[in-house]
Amino acid sequence: MRVIGTAGHVDHGKSTLVQALTGIHPDRLKEEQEREMTIDIGFAWFTLPGGEEVGIVDVPGHRDFIENMLAGVGGIDAALFVVAADEGVMPQTREHLSILNILQIQGGVVALTKADLVDTDWMDLVEEDLRQSLSASVLAEAPILRVSARTGQGIMELKDALRSCLADRPPRPDLGRPRLPVDRVFSMPGFGTVVTGTLVNGQLKVGEEVEIMPQGMRGRIRGLQTHKQKETIAIPGSRTAVNISGIDLEEIWRGCVVTHPGDYQSTRRIDVTFNLLPDASQGLKHNTEVKLFIGTSEAIARVRLLGEEELAPGQEGWLQLELPQPILAARGDRYILRRPSPGETLGGGVVIDPHPKGRHKRFSEQTLLSLQSLAQGTPADVLMEAMLATGIAPLKEVVLRSNLEVDAAVQAWQELLDTAQVIDLESSPAVEDRATQLPLENLVAAQETWSRLSAKVDQEVRQYHQSYPLRPGMPREELKSRVKNQINNSARIFNAILRKLVAAGSLEDSGSLVRQPGFAIRFTPQQEQSIHKLMDRFAAAPFSPPSVKDCQADVGQDVLDALISLGQLTQVSPEVAFRHADYERMVSEVKQLIRQQGSLTAAEVRDHFNTSRRYALAFLEHLDASGVTVRDGDARRLRNP
Ligand SMILES: Nc1nc2c(ncn2[C@@H]2O[C@H](COP(=O)(O)OP(=O)(O)OP(=O)(O)O)[C@@H](O)[C@H]2O)c(=O)[nH]1
Ligand SMILES: [Mg+2]
């Protein structure tokens, strides 16, 4: 599915030629018919000699309507460039050619029309002049055909030339993320809201939910048409009419974009390359207010001129455009800038980054370098820049941001993996996207990002060990709160980082605590001494040992906690702790006794261990709580005899 766009000076015969080619007159407004002049873009379609059906977008030539022309020319595959033989090259012939150049509409066909009005000598002169004007433009190699819409001269040849011109063009890529820049909105009685546009980057299907950008409203596709033909699927490159339910006429307008929900994010700042036209009336200064035309949308923007004080006509530079209202843009989109008043086409270029991290410093070497690598980079460079901007994120998000075609993304990803510039945090993918061979759902990161983050985790854990040398490890939750800013507060990312670090052997994770491998609690000689003394007291009376309070007084809370976490002491109640070995012995002897006699009272336990009621009760309640025994009146039985 291809779309051809007309271009050329006012009154040069564009619309008449479209009618001669297609049988459809593209002017549909009453005012257009009365004034015999195209005001807004019009649409038609026809079948090429080879059988391919193509759409035509017919644009106005009058300078007052150049902004309508810009809404139509964005989505075209090739130009039908029209010059009237009686007038030859005129101002909007040149301006439209500049626009085709900026948008890099590769190829097209030139129609030297109204051939019936002039003689051959005149025609030769005009053609020579025209060839001159086209040199060094996207139409430099385009065939020039002499035609007349009135007599039908050359119309067949023109169709043939359009066919061979389109045959050379690659089909529109399907990136799996459709967008339809809306160029027309109307309402059909009984159907509701209908929008039209040239669909790119993916398919739309009847029944699907769609999102209207940039306002983010949701609707559903009730019906689809291409060239007035009902379809269930619309494919990239086709002129598409979408009947949307759930969206009112006032809620959508030219410049909106229909997408799948969540595929694109709107933006209020974009980084772009920019060429100021050689015939611009003056240079471009920092902070100039301009009109931005991208897709079918028109928006006010302010220019941040990067790396230069001022751009002279004919010069190329880097801009950051700041927008009071959000728009939708993707990497690689071409755009045009105009001065609002007096109206003048300034130039345009390519979107390098639709979501820059923030406002760039105007003269930062590093910013310019990273823009350069984004602009000229290989797919791997582009994917890398996207990855650096997203941090740790699902690969899907990174690919979306890069706006790479699927094949290019697959190759770029493989290259970055092979050269260890990226890591896959979930490298045995649960869900492998079979269509693309990319682990789209997996969390990935640039090696640089990963090194920074893992160093941060490492440093936090080490610092914790230093601050609390007597604690067995850092609580997981505490670590999480320390790195949350770096990971967007995402539990999924945090868990993935820990898993990766544990797998690499650079962290130990016990579930609630993490520690550095090889970390061990180490006491000072002084602490060793007081522990020794305390242990002597335990040895002297294993079943009536010093109380927890006594322990605190003897060695301090920190050391006591350490002894417990090391398993040397087992605390059974707020007041009572035993040496672990003594505790084990008590458990096994109590079990033994109950097995022998069926049950056991607290008094019997007290007497057996020659201790006091306080210790016996604390111990038994602890056994109840840990599920070893159950209470039965005064006595205890085993829970699982
Ligand atoms: N003699 C002659 N007249 C033509 C031919 N093509 C168009 N015209 C006349 O030229 C005038 C302008 O034609 P349009 O097709 O409206 O021109 P346009 O380029 O679409 O004009 P805008 O859309 O306003 O830019 C009309 O009066 C047409 O009848 C042709 O091949 N021969
Ligand atoms: Mg017209």
Query: pLDDT tens across 93-150, in order?
Result: 999 999 999 999 988 999 999 999 999 999 999 999 999 999 989 999 999 999 999 9
* pTM (predicted TM-score): 0.71
Per-residue pLDDT tens digits for 17-54: 999 999 999 999 999 988 999 999 999 999 999 899 99
Any idea which of 405-419, 558-572, 606-620 has the lowest mean pLDDT?
405-419
Any ligand 1 atom below 6 A from CB of 38: yes
Res. 441: pLDDT tops 90: no
Mutation test residue for ligand 1: of 11, 34, 37, 147, the one with most atoms within 8 Å of CB: 11
Least confident of 60-69, 79-88, 442-451: 442-451
Measured in degrees and rounded to the nearest 5, phi and psi for residue 149 equal -70, -25
Whole-angstrom distance between the N-terminal and C-terminal Cα of the chain?
79
pLDDT at position 431 over 90: no
Q: Measure the CA–CA gap between 168 and 184, rounded to whole angstroms.
A: 29
Residue 9 to residue 69: CA distance in whole angstroms: 11
The verdict on the CB of residue 499 being under 6 Å from ligand 1 is: no
CA of 354 to the centre of ligand 1 (A): 40
**Long-range CB contacts (< 8 A, 24+ apart) of 21-30?**
21/46, 21/56, 21/155, 21/158, 21/159, 22/46, 22/56, 26/56, 26/58, 27/58
Residue 407 CB-density burial (10 A; 0-12 exposed, 13-18 middle, 19+ buried): exposed
What's the pLDDT score for residue 428? Answer: 61
What's residue 429's pLDDT?
Answer: 47
Q: Enumerate residues 6+ apart whose C-beta is below 8 A from 516.
A: 458, 461, 462, 465, 506, 507, 508
pLDDT value at 15 more than 90 = yes
Kindly give the distance from the C-alpha atom of residue 36 to the centroid of ligand 1, in angstroms, as a whole number: 8
Residue range 299-331, pLDDT digits in tens: 999 999 999 999 999 999 999 999 999 999 998
Mean of pLDDT values over 435-464: 87
Closest CA to 80 of 137, 177, 159, 185: 159
C-alpha dist (Å) from residue 65 to 217, 277, 304, 415, 479: 30, 20, 28, 47, 60
Neighbours of ion ligand 2 (CB under 5 A): 14-15, 38
Whole-number Å distance between alpha carbons of 75 and 238: 10
612 Cβ contact partners less than 8 Å away, ≥ 6 residues apart:
544, 606
Atom number of ligand 1 nearest to Cα 92: 25
- Give me the pLDDT at residue 430, please: 46
Instruction: Express each pLDDT in 510-534 by its tens digit.
Output: 889 999 998 999 899 999 999 999 9
pLDDT at 632: 87
Residue 94 confidence (pLDDT): 95
Residue 547 predicted with pLDDT over 90: yes
In this predicted structure, the answer to whether residue 568 has a pLDDT above a threshold of 80 is yes
Q: How confident is the model at residue 375 (pLDDT cuts 50, 70, 90)?
A: confident
What integer pLDDT is reported at residue 1 of this predicted model?
83
Please tell me the predicted confidence (pLDDT) of residue 341: 87
For the Cβ of 54 lying below 6 angstroms from any atom of ligand 1, the answer is: no
Does the CB atom of residue 64 touch ligand 1 within 6 A? no
- CA-CA distance, 290 to 349, in Å (whole number)? 14
- Mean pLDDT for the stretch of residues 216-226: 95
* Nearest ligand, CA 60: 1
Write out the DSSP string of 608-632: HTT--HHHHHHHHHHHHHTTSEEEE
Encode pLDDT of 146-194 as tens digits.
999 999 999 999 999 999 999 878 778 888 889 999 999 999 888 899 9
Preceding peptide of 342 cis, ω within 30° = yes
